[in-house]
Amino acid sequence: MRVEGVLVLFVLWNIFLPLCLAEGLENSERVSYLHAEVVRTGYVVLKPKTDIYLVKELWVTLSIPQNTTRQQSNIKLVDGPDEYNITKDEWGNDMINLVWKNPKVNQEIRYTLVSDVEVFDKSLPRTSVSFITTEKTRANKEIAEKAIDAASGFSGIEKIFQVADFVHRWLRYDDYDKKITEGAQWAFQNSIGACDEFSNLMIAMLSVLGFN
């Protein structure tokens, strides 16, 4: 966001709207096609910190569904900003920049972004990925017990979904000013972490369940 002399409050929602209804799905691995609309909506409020302020432009950068070998995405609607453009971040992911000219302060500046997404199976050859166990991804007794408990009653890819859900709920994202990447045991004990710690804990739990 490009603003001067103001405090920015930023609120957003993500809504995933399938265009079909699946009932009685026993095995998620058998899903070969999904067509859905992904709706992202929210608002920004500019709060002046002083009596003197200048807001010429407001930029809001959001991630959007990517185009891959198994997924095609198109933007259907962008409502709210005066203009927008698509760029890539440092990792090559598509991002959308929403731009408002001379935005007003002390009121909600709303936006809505709708993407049409198709996920399909191109029958690509399956490849296996081996996770090398290191001190950063080594599970202890407590992590192993949580992994087994989280996956209890599930099979196949559903176990991975359950572990991912557990990690998401167990850890609070905190991109604190750290100099090193912490391991799975540290993340589990402190219940915080950034991307590296989330990944290390998930790899440790999946290794316990035999995904290696």
- Give me the percent of the chain exceeding a pLDDT of 70: 76
Domains and CATH numbers, the chain: 6-120 (2.60.40), 141-208 (3.10.620.30)
Which tens digit of pLDDT belongs to each residue from 29-41?
A: 555 677 788 888 8
Beta-bridge partners for 39? 15, 114
Does residue 139 register a pLDDT over 80? yes
Confidence at 81, pLDDT banded by 50, 70, 90: very high
Only one residue has tokens 């909600």, namely: 108
Which tens digit of pLDDT belongs to each residue from 94-129?
A: 899 999 998 988 889 999 999 888 877 655 444 445
Q: What is the pTM of this model?
A: 0.49
pLDDT the model gives residue 163: 92
pLDDT the model gives residue 16: 46
Confidence at 132, pLDDT banded by 50, 70, 90: low
pLDDT the model gives residue 1: 44
- Size of the chain, expressed as the number of residues it contains: 212
